[in-house]
Chain A
Amino acid sequence: MLNNQTSFEQELVSRLVRGDAKAQYTLYKRYVDAMYHTVIRIVKDPTDAQDVVQECFIRVFQKIDTYRGEATLGAWIKRIAIHSAFNLMRKRKRNLEYATDEIERYDIEFEIEDSDSTYSPENVHHAIKELPTGCRAVVSLYALEGYSHKEIAGILDITESTSKTQYRRAKGLLKDVLVSKMRRDEV
């Protein structure tokens, strides 16, 4: 019995295991937008994001028989997408850069008021892409993809405490990017 699957997913998975091309396209259409956005927040470059998403779905189709339903199908595919993104960065020998500013500067909690005009999902999405690579990886995985600092530490090969520190710095830097965007828009 697969724990986290809906009956639609169960049916889709069994068709995918049989190599059904229509099922592949259904799965693709269902998840491509989410995967592309997750990946581009990590790799930033649109062409790299295309390559990673392509590679991710090829892997999904090849490895679908290993999916055991322990996570939802979407979460399983997202994990493959995220790992493919970091794999590409490693292949390109792009070391993750982390923010090194004094941590005290970012100790204030990042609160968003309803009247706050700097915040919108679109602004935050683009602001994340402006962050140093390591920093944006941590903030994407923690705030958007729901990974714990322990899981992030495992994926990025850093300590849990580095992940936490980078997350605080990332939030501070995000706030800076959003505020300076607002100022630019006002001018």
Chain B
Amino acid sequence: MKFEDQINRDRREFDQIEKVPSDLIWHGIQDNIRKKNTRRIIIRLSAAASIIIIIGAFAVINFSGIKSSGEQFAMSSEFNEEENKYYQLANHKMTEINYTDLDRSEYGEIISELEELDSMYTALKSEMAEIPNAEKAIQTAIKFHERRLQILELLEKEIENRKREEANESNLKI
């Protein structure tokens, strides 16, 4: 019988020779999937934590009596300078990761969290304008900017990871 015919006849047996470390491989798969999911969850939790910070600030402003009636608070130029720096850093990061063109099917949840965070901050800032002593609110605003930057950095890492995975896959020529 020809070699090829013999192999075809016994083909199933060729997959039953080695002892397959099936449990070990499965655990590896599970670990890997868990790690990837954890990366996503960390980013979302960071965004959620930032939202909580802002909600906390609203509570302080609205319920602690520091809101004035009509007296306008002029944001200190020091704060404005600080905030501009954060915006510049964030904008730079956004340009680096091509934020406006990010695929929403891939990063939609994270982008939505960031958008929600931004709109809450805008609302917070208009509330801040009515506060005579805005020290607490300014601290919150700085925290917000630090958090926002951290989220963008996490997002950048996630994009890099995804690119690496895609590069590996494109080498496959499947």
B16 touches A33 (CB 8 A): yes
- In the complex, whether A83 has a CB less than 8 A from a CB of chain B is yes
B29 within 8 A of A: yes
Alpha-carbon separation in the docked complex, A119 to B3 (Å)? 10
Tell me if A154 and B173 are in contact (CB < 8 A).
yes
Q: How many A-B residue pairs have CB under 8 A?
A: 92
**Which residues of chain A come closer than 8 Å to B32, judged between CB atoms?**
54, 58
**Interface hits, A48-90 → B, CB 8 Å:** 50, 53-54, 57-59, 61, 79-80, 83-84, 87, 90
The reply to whether A50 and B7 contact each other, CB–CB distance below 8 Å, is no
Within 8 A of B (CB), among A76-121: 79-80, 83-84, 87, 90, 109-114, 119, 121
Known: A111-B1, A111-B2, A143-B3. A53 touches B14 (CB 8 A): no
> Could you tell me the distance between the alpha carbons of A136 and B11 in the complex, rounded to whole angstroms?
17
Interface presence of A15 (CB below 8 A): no
Complex CA gap A155/B152 in Å reads 39
Residue of B nearest to A126 (CB): B17
Bitwise, A23-48 to B at CB < 8 A (1) or not (0) is 00100110011101110100000100
- A contact patch SS: helix
B25: chain A residues at CB < 8 Å are 32, 36, 50, 53-54, 57
Cβ–Cβ contact B18 & A83, under 8 A: no
Q: How far is the CA of A58 from the CA of B172 in the complex (A)?
A: 14
Report the minimum CB–CB distance from A104 to chain B (whole Å). 18
14 contacts between A and B (CB under 8 A): A37-B17, A40-B18, A46-B18, A50-B21, A54-B32, A58-B32, A80-B172, A83-B174, A90-B171, A112-B1, A121-B7, A125-B18, A144-B14, A155-B173
> Closest 5 CB pairs between A and B?
A110-B3, A121-B13, A83-B172, A54-B28, A34-B15
